Amino acid sequence: MMRAKERTGRAVVALKVAVLVAAVGVAGACSVPLPAVSPPVGPGTTVDRSPSVGPATPFTSASPALIVTPTTVAASSSPPPIASAKDFDQVLQAGQVPDSARALTVSGQGAAAVQFTLAGEFAVAATLDAERCRGEVVLTADGRMTPYAAGTAPYRASVLVDVMASDREILLVTADGPWTLTLLDWNYLPLVDGVQTGRGPTVLYFSSAATTMEVSVSDIAPTDSVILRAFSEEGVTGGPVMQGWDGPGMHTAKANLPGVVALTTNGSWTMTPKP
């Protein structure tokens, strides 16, 4: 079965943005434009998507910074601690994430800092499989205040990393037991279409056009946050967007698709793209 339109070329994803965003607790809905990052590649570019394909938008020094303006911000007595690789005794050298459909996989046991490099300028879909672990599981990065994902084992999460120019290629895994971390160039994510369902943090490449995304989330507390980031494919009007809400329910987000959508929640979800 053909995936979206046939693509017979290669595209370079240069989506590094020279800005660091520290996420904070958000109460209520917020909608903010993301910087002009390298969007997913569109039809006509040369990318062999046999196993899968994904995003691309060129970044220039003139690209705007990301301004986060949530409706309200949850009060906090003190800021969360900044994650540091120096706090991890175990350091794993994962190698290089290839600019291809071949993912880089590293396995570990317990807490560890995972260092890697990139074969090009592209974002990475990182999937942590900690389903054989016990207790709390955290996936974050060196220098981050808010984890990419955190939950109770058995736990599995897919997140988007290395979107910002300031992001460091050091992921930090906290877990009690064996785990596997898979790193994939976002241009080679499997293409999906139509209504998608699942549970936990996920990264999906939607192949069809849409202007909004309906997101239904359940099995979370009223204070749990839900964050959606949508990165438009190259040539799609609108650009990338980030929106967030608190608690379960039906939410509507802007999403200029085709492109990559990263949803952060530990609940059960259904995403429905709308024209």
Average pLDDT over residues 261-268: 97
Measured in residues, the chain has a length of 275
pLDDT tens readout for residues 83-114 = 898 899 999 999 999 999 999 999 999 999 99
Give strand pairing partners of 273: 213
Report residue 237's pLDDT band, with 50, 70 and 90 as the boundaries: confident
Name which residue leads in pLDDT, 143 or 36: 143
Start-to-end CA distance of the chain, whole Å, equals 23
Report residue 30's pLDDT band, with 50, 70 and 90 as the boundaries: very low
The two tokens of residue 60 are 């220039």
Nearest to 187 by CA among 97, 274, 107, 273: 97
pLDDT tens readout for residues 142-190 = 989 999 999 999 999 999 998 876 678 999 999 999 999 999 999 999 9
> What is the model's pLDDT at position 14?
34
Q: Which residue is associated with the tokens 């990065």?
A: 141
Vertex 189 angle, CA 185 and 193, to 5°: 155
> What is the model's pLDDT at position 41?
59
> What is the model's pLDDT at position 163?
85
Name which residue leads in pLDDT, 175 or 12: 175
> What is the model's pLDDT at position 234?
85
> Cα-atom radius of gyration of the chain, to the nearest Å?
18
- What is the domain partition of the chain in residue ranges? 26-72+191-274, 85-186
Taking the whole predicted model, whether its pTM rises above 0.85 is answered as no
Q: Which residue is associated with the tokens 């992921």?
A: 171
Q: What's the CATH fold of domain 85-186?
A: Jelly Rolls (2.60.120)
pLDDT tops 80 at residue 19 = no
Name which residue leads in pLDDT, 226 or 239: 226
> What is the model's pLDDT at position 78?
59
> What is the model's pLDDT at position 106?
97
pLDDT tops 90 at residue 64 = no
> What is the model's pLDDT at position 11?
35
> What is the model's pLDDT at position 48?
47
> What is the model's pLDDT at position 239?
76
pLDDT tops 80 at residue 54 = no
